[in-house]
Every structure is written in structure tokens, then in C-alpha cells.
Chains A and B, each alone.
Chain A
Amino acid sequence: MKEENVTHGFWYADWSFPIFVGIMSAAVFAGTHMYVQYGVGAFNEVAIVAMLKAGLDGGSYGAAAAFGVSFLFARILEGSLVGILDIGGAILTGIGIGIPAIFLSMGIKAPIENFTLALIVGAILGLIVGGIIILIRKFTINQSNSTFGAEVMMGAGNASGRFLGPLIILSACGASIPVGLGSVVGALLFYIWKKPIAGGAILGAMVLGAVFPIL
């Protein structure tokens, strides 16, 4: 296969992985700075950001710290073994919410309140996390030439993707009758155009949902 030939160098290497994690962590940590400073910009779900907000509003940072750090911990181990680091748990929740909560609970405010410092601290944290993952990989996956069932996982991943189109239509039909009909028509149009029906189903549902809002 052609893509097998080019999977070397900076863009594919293990040593560059901590750099990618560092860059993303810098951005996410700075996003938390934005949220604390301007009230907008945290890269997480409302419910998880709310835990940090509880601390900012004078309550306890305990929930955010424990939740975030446990996620980070589990994802580091999992990520190095399965080959994909989950950014939701590790970076968005762990580095973006958990670690800022620990800093704030200890009274260390500077990395969160200063933009430049936020970028630097985030990058360092990311480099550490990325480094640990590569280190674990060195002692596990990389020591052998076994594929560890990668093709099985890829097969299942591809198969699950095909479910999305029908699932969107199912849930659109549950939302309201116009939205359901919209998604069916959209899916049909995309099917006739030989495109995956998921996209058509979403667009159809949104168009009809705009005209006939769900009550």
C-alpha cells in the first residue's frame, strides 16, 4: 500500500508525539485561562466546566480536580496501549479542568490568570503526558512486531461508522414529524447522489427544524 511507504519522519514518529500533545495542551490550558478571565472559551462540556465554576465561585475545587486527574491518569495508560490518546479525557478534561483546579485549590493563580504563562505551563504539562505515553509504548507495543489485532479494531471501527446514518434518521423521527420527514428526504437525496446518507439526514433535519421548530 502506498501510505505504508511514507509513514516515517516527524509527522508519524514517536518522538514527535509529545510535541503534538504539548501544542494541544497549551491551547486547551489557555482556553481555560480565557474562561476564567472572560467567561468564554473553555474546551469542554457545560457539566464539566460547571465543576470548575463551582470552585471559582468560592466553592470546592475537589470535584473538578479528582474527576479531571483520574480521567487523565486512566487515559494515559489506555492511550499508550491502544495507540490512540483520548483527547477528551486526557487533555480537555485532565489538563484543561483537573490540573487548573488543583493549581487554584493550592492558591497558584498565575498560570491561569496570565495568558503567556498559561500557554507555557500547558505546553510543559502536555510534553510530560506525551513523554510518559511514548515511554510506556517503548516497553510494550514497540518491542515486538506483532500487530496486536489492529486490523480487527479497524474493521470494527469502520463497521460502526456505517450505523450513524440510520441512527440519525431514527432519532430525527423521534424528535418531531417534520424533522423526521426532513431527515428521510435528505438521506434519500444523498443516497441518489451516491453520498453517505448521514450528511443528508442531518441537513434535512436541520432545514425542516428551522422552519417548523421542535416545541
Chain B
Amino acid sequence: METVIILMKSLIIGGLLGFSSGAGAARMFHAPKTQGLGAFRTLGEMNACEGDPASHFSFGLGFFFNAWASAVGAGAFTQDVDHRIIPNWATAILMVKNKNVAETMHNPKKMGIAGAAVGMVLVAFLNTTVSAIPKSLQVTAVDVLVPAATILIATVMPVLFWLAAIDAGKRSGFWGTLFGGIAQLVMGNAVPGVVLGILIGKGVDEQGWTKVTKIMMAAIIALFAFSSFFRGFDLQMIEQFRMQIPEWLDKAHAIFSVGK
């Protein structure tokens, strides 16, 4: 009986997740005009498959084995279900019929429907399978895909975005370098910072220091300030500069460690 309940719940969860994940991923291709829902790495990886259904499917498949192993082992699906498997498999399904990415991968409605189908099957499968998958497939997927994706996200993407920012003009090069460096320190990845640098640089290039660009600058500064605080970057920095942590700052941090 419990299996039936788990199956029913999984179908609901998978359908909702798949729908929003597929539609959100398609919206990314229209960003920043349309607010997308996904991640830069998902965008990069989906572009990497160059509109070939077999590539989309096998890219998702590699992470599927990893997710399955993690679900069986620890009950955690990994973020790849949402980031990689659903968007890429939904794309693969749509592309069997139509190879034009503008009419398939970039269409939120079609991606939403295909994503819902993939999500229902995928989540139900992951939640109900108790038998383990072949260990050797798991190990290969983890050993090969994870390091490659890590290099892509940790090194290749920051460098390429950075160079693009520098080539795009003096302002975006300056702000991209500044925010990229700070983002690497605070968030552990430079890409969001470089993107914000391009945003500000190009915004100011095109319209000067208007109200809009000033608000954006303030929001970026707030973003970095809050990120450093919540990630404890401020405390680490003071420590590494061999200085004393002020008592009020320590207390402020203590307030936000809920439940300790």
C-alpha cells in the first residue's frame, strides 16, 4: 500500500517539477528579456549538445545513473534531476520530431509539456526502484562526467565569460574583472560576478549612469554584502588579515544561526 502512495505522490511531484523545469529552461534562452528559471551551467550544457537529440539524451543519461545511485544510496536525487536530466531529456524528446531548436528547446510551452512527462516517469522511477543499478556504470559516470563538468563550471566558463567581458569594452572589462574576482572569493565561482560586470558595464555604455543603472549597482553591492555575511566570508577575511573579529559582528552572526 505504501508503494502505491509513494507512486501517486511521485507522479504529482514529478509532473509539477518537470513542467516548471522544462518551461523555465526554455525561458532561459530568451533571457534577460524574459526571466528564466534554470542556471548558467544548464544553459551552457544545453547549448553544448548543439541541438542533437542523441547528445541531449546521453548527456542526461550519464547524470541519470549518478542520480539513481545517489537516490538508492542516500535518498537524495542530486540537483542534476532538475538541472540536467529533465531539461535535456525533454529537449531530446521534442527533437526527435523537429530539429529546429527555436521551435523546440526554446519554446516554453512544448518544453513544459515534455518536461512534465519526463518528470513524472523519472521521479516515480527513482522513488520506487529499490534494486541497485550496476555499480560499474555508476562509477564510470561519476569518474568521467563529474570532473569534466567541474572543470567546465569552475575554469572554462569563468575564463570565457571574463574574456568576453574584457573584449566587450573598457567598462564591462573593468567591472567584470572587479566583480568576477570578488564573486570568486565570496561565492566560489566568478561567473555570476562577471555577468553582473557585463550587465553594469554595458548598461552604462548604452545609457550612462541613470536611475536604473544606479539601482542595479546598489543591488549588486547589497548582493555581495549579504552573500559575504551569510557565507561567513567577512569573518574569514578578518581572520586571514590577522585582525580581531569585532564582538558586534560575532553577535550578528550568532542571531542568524537558527536553532543552535
Contact = CB atoms under 8 A, between A and B. Distances in A.
B97 interface: no
Given A146-B203, A149-B202, A202-B59, A102 B75 contact: no
Interface string B214-251: 01100110110011011100000000000000000000
Given A3-B102, A209-B137, A161 B45 contact: yes
A21 B37 contact: yes
Contact of B172 (A13, A65, A149, A168): A149
A28 interface: yes
Contacts of B52: 195-196, 199
Contacts of A174: 147
A5 to B, nearest CB: 11
A149 B201 contact: yes
A17 B37 contact: yes
A88 B83 contact: yes
Interface in B18-72: 19-21, 23-24, 26-28, 30-40, 43-50, 52, 54-59, 61-62, 65, 70-71
A23 B54 CA distance: 29
Contacts of B131: none
B259 A55 contact: yes
B83 A78 contact: no
Given A23-B16, A146-B207, A198 B231 contact: no
Contact of A85 (B35, B48, B59, B126): B35
A109 interface: no
B187 A199 contact: no
Given A49-B76, A196-B50, A85 B37 contact: yes
A133 B73 CA distance: 36
A192 interface: no
B202 A87 contact: no
A66 B257 contact: yes
Contacts of A73: 226-227, 230
Contacts of B202: 146-149, 152
Contacts of B46: 161
Residue with the greatest number of chain B CB neighbours at <10 A, chosen from A27, A77, A156 = A156
A167 to B, nearest CB: 4
B40 A171 contact: no
Contacts of B70: 45-46
Interface string B3-20: 000100110111011011
B76 A46 contact: yes
A70 B232 CA distance: 10
Interface of A: 1-3, 7, 11-14, 17, 20-21, 23-24, 26-28, 30-31, 34-35, 38-46, 48-50, 55, 60-62, 65-66, 69-70, 73-74, 77-88, 91-92, 101-102, 105-106, 115, 119, 133-134, 136-137, 139-141, 143-144, 146-150, 152-153, 155-165, 167-168, 170-172, 174-176, 179, 183, 190, 195-196, 198-200, 202-203, 205-206, 208-210, 213-214
21 contacts: A21-B37, A23-B20, A28-B82, A34-B6, A43-B81, A60-B260, A61-B259, A81-B199, A83-B33, A88-B79, A92-B79, A143-B211, A143-B212, A149-B202, A152-B202, A157-B43, A160-B161, A164-B148, A175-B143, A195-B52, A205-B144
